[in-house]
Structure 1
Amino acid sequence: MKNFKILLILVTFGSISSAISQEVLTVEDAIKIAVEKNYDVRIAKNNTEISNIEKGLLNSGYLPTVSVSGGINYADEVQKVTFSDGTNTNIDNAITESYNASVTAEYTIFDGLERKFNTLKNKENFNLKMIEERQLIENTVMSLYDTYYNVAYQKQITENLLLNIENSKDRLERTKRKLKYGQGTKLDELNAQIDLNNDSISYASAYKDFRNLKRNLNLLLGRDVTASFAIDTTVVFLERLKEEDILQSSVDKHVTSVLSQQNILLSELDIKINKAKFLPKINGSASYNWNESMNPVTSFALNNETYGVNLGLSLSWNVFDGGKTKTKVRTSKITRQSRDIELYRAQEELKTEVYNAYEDYTNKQFTLKAENNNVTTNKLNFSRTQKQFSLGQISALEFRQAQINLFNALNNYANAKYDLKIAEINLLQLAGILLE
């Protein structure tokens, strides 16, 4: 058991030395890596790029279509011909050859403005994809903060357990000295040894959890899960956020509100696109054709060649399509009304979230101050307990309780620190300024 304790402490300090040599991954660095390499973010960026291509001129319908065609026909026949004077003739190998080529351009001159509104819709779809990309990045950043601070918290637990091990080791040494001078019992030494071993086991378990959480963070960053790094446990808080500022900003900037407003705009374009189907369409075409044929002697013309330009203009008007277009217009108007309701609901839900989140933020500020005071008190209490224990004025059980109280206070303070930071970040997201 004693050898196990010594080995674990050596491994512990070896781990600390290794961490010192590792590059520190700050939360800002982690965000930059995630935005660049996270798998979901990369897919979202690809979807945005597809939408960007679709809104271009080549997909607008404003360009003409041009086609080229050509062909060759060959016939080798036996022809029996009766002329008007009653004479007959048979021709073997009556060969007919024909060639043709054409270039045709077609253009929609007017389509009831459907093309115009579709082009606008493609542009607004691109804006929608950008908003959705922003939403996914925000969610990824929120997950990143949560995971990062879980790693940082677990690191502080391992550090607090190391302090526990040191204090337990000091208690064991004091107990051994008392036993040596006849001031203690063997039972006290065994109890101290048991507590030290339990602390070592707790550290081994906590360090295992710490390494697992680091791998989870690497996965979220979209990089090798075994990548080595040191975590930064420092937390910098912003100046106290104001509830009214968060509330106003959420209405204008929160991604849910922005998405709802964008969907309203797209619904309005759908109405215009459907209404455009009531109008006529005018198409123009131009082509250059060339045809040549070589005929057998039985034909009226042995050789025939034609070429030239053909121009065309056509108008089509779907006067009545069975009510399909009218139905689409009516349903698109109802969809537009639903989008208004969704916007109102989103804004009301945001208000509720802001009020709740700000209440949580205020509570966690109080909790952090209280836990900080608790740490100060427990440090002072443990310091005095150590002195009293060394003088034999208190029992080992009282010493252990003071040690546990200090350990819990340190962990609770670390937890309160990261909880407050997450609450602060949550308010920034609700305000729509997280990525700013």
Structure 2
Amino acid sequence: MSKLFIYSICFVFLTINLNAKSLSLEELIEIALENNTNIQLSKNQKDVSEQRLRQSQASYLPYVTSSANTGEYDIKQSGVKQDGNATSVSVNANQLIYDFGKTTTAIKASKYNVEASQEDVTSIEKQIILAVKKAYFDILNRHQQIVVAKEAVKLDELQLSQAKEYFKAGIRTQIDITNAQLQLSNSNLKLIQANYDLKKAKTNLISILGKAISEDLKIQLDEEDIKLLAQNAELKYKNVEELIDIAIKNRAEMKKYESLIKANKESVKNANYQYLPTIDVSASYNEKDSDDISTLDSNQTAVLLNIKWDIFTGFSRDANKKIALSNLSSSYKQKEQQELAIIEAVTNAHLNTKQSFESIKISLLSLNLATKNLDLASQRYQAGLNDLLELNDAKLQYTQAKSNLVNTYYSHLVNNANLEYTLGLIK
């Protein structure tokens, strides 16, 4: 059985499993962290920085080269001609002894760059977690909107049934039936739109997950009524100054720039050390042998202590030093800019959570009032004290109030997730 066939069976099995069960938010995040392409790309960049660290560390190890050749020689000297075959073998080794910190600083700079790359990976992972949470809450929102739309359809069906009964009894006119049919048609249209909005929300989540999952993807839904969910909403964070301190300490972006500053400081040192000599030891062994030409036979061994000092390099060292200083200055400025961006993001996220939390209270009140208003309008319509227009207005206000509560509640969950992201605490 071929490996391709086995992989295909495993993929189909995994896909069936994903679509067969309702996935929790934690499971969705796990899938995204394993499969999202942006995370994979950031990990590839981290691998590159790790290999560059290995390259810099290799300078401490000896360099060994060897070569061998064979050929035919034709030598004419003082009127005497000799020809024949000859072979030669050579082995050369070089070991760094001391370079006044050039290699050491290069290794340190590479290590700090690896740390910065790891913070990049962490930053991307947290962005993906936030994106998954937003998409997940959007799907929950769409499900609740479908519930609201179905309730509106039921209300309109009941209204149409009542209008027909009242018409038969001679209490109401044909226009009430026509109006009720129109309202039911509009509610059915909104239900269709709500179902397609749910499909679009699932498509968005699947693209974030980075895995080929059908749009029949099932997720764990909120079983409780939206009113109970909204009543249990919380405001977790209150002091914005404390939040800013938490964000500065925890955000991966800040840690990244701290590592880059350290790396660039080492690069500046390295640029200064380029003005100093390098000391190494080299050893070589060369052997040449010929059965036909005795003068070619040789055997040579050498061990040398070398000092290399570049006196003039065409101002390249000056240029490298200026580049290193500019990179260091840029790192400081980028860190300052990042800190300002974090302060702004935390402040806005904190305000958004407070606004959405207070909006939930108002939305709950509006829904309670709209529910009472609908009950009163229904009773008045049944008693013949008002027309269908008043009842339609009351029903519209009720469905809008409930839809607004759904949007406000899930917006609050998104705002909480966004605040946790700006603090560097999202997981």
Question: Normalising TM by the smaller chain, what interval?
Answer: 0.7 to 0.9
Larger Rg: 1
TM-score by length of 2: 0.86
In the aligned structure 1, how far is the partner of 2:270 from the partner of 2:193? 63
**Once the two structures are superposed, what CA deviation does each residue of 1:178-200 show, in whole Å capped at 9, x if it has no partner?**
12222222221111111111211
Q: Cα distance, 1:150 vs. partner?
A: 2.0
In the aligned structure 1, how far is the partner of 2:143 from the partner of 2:271? 60
Does structure 1 conserve the Cα–Cα contact (< 8 Å) formed by 2:90 and 2:286? yes
**CA RMSD, aligned part only?**
2.6
- The residue identity in structure 1 corresponding to 2:109 is K
In the aligned structure 2, how far is the partner of 1:423 from the partner of 1:313? 67
1:219 is matched with 207
Which of the numbers 338, 342, 356 marks the counterpart of 1:346?
Answer: 338
Secondary structure, aligned partner of 2:59? coil
TM-score by length of 1: 0.84
Alpha-carbon spacing, 1:293–1:22, altered in 2? closer, same or farther (3 Å): closer
Residue 182 of structure 1 pairs with residue 167 of structure 2: no
Residue 431 of structure 1 pairs with residue 423 of structure 2: yes
1:86 is matched with none
1:55-70 equivalences under 5 Å are 55-56=53-54, 59-70=57-68
- The residue identity in structure 2 corresponding to 1:34 is A
1:125-136 equivalences under 5 Å are 125-136=113-124
Residue 383 of structure 1 pairs with residue 372 of structure 2: no
Residue 38 of structure 1 pairs with residue 26 of structure 2: no
1:52-131 equivalences under 5 Å are 52-56=50-54, 59-75=57-73, 95-131=83-119
Unaligned runs of 5+ in 1: 1-20, 84-90
Does structure 1 conserve the Cα–Cα contact (< 8 Å) formed by 2:32 and 2:209? yes
1:278 is matched with 275
**What is the identity percentage for the equivalent residue pairs of Structure 1 and Structure 2?**
19
Q: Cα distance, 1:434 vs. partner?
A: 1.4
1:293 is matched with 290
Which of the numbers 233, 251, 256 marks the counterpart of 1:259?
Answer: 256
In the aligned structure 1, how far is the partner of 2:241 from the partner of 2:397? 40
Q: Cα distance, 1:402 vs. partner?
A: 1.2
In the aligned structure 2, how far is the partner of 1:211 from the partner of 1:352? 34
In the aligned structure 1, how far is the partner of 2:371 from the partner of 2:404? 14
Secondary structure, aligned partner of 1:223? coil
Q: Cα distance, 1:327 vs. partner?
A: 4.0
1:372 is matched with 364
**Once the two structures are superposed, what CA deviation does each residue of 1:238-297 show, in whole Å capped at 9, x if it has no partner?**
65213233111112122332232222112201101101101101122112222112336x
1:402 is matched with 394
Alpha-carbon spacing, 1:81–1:279, altered in 2? closer, same or farther (3 Å): closer
- The residue identity in structure 2 corresponding to 1:54 is R
Unaligned runs of 5+ in 2: 1-18, 223-228
1:303-322 equivalences under 5 Å are 305-322=297-314
- The residue identity in structure 1 corresponding to 2:411 is D
Residue 207 of structure 1 pairs with residue 195 of structure 2: yes
- The residue identity in structure 2 corresponding to 1:326 is D
Aligned residues: 400
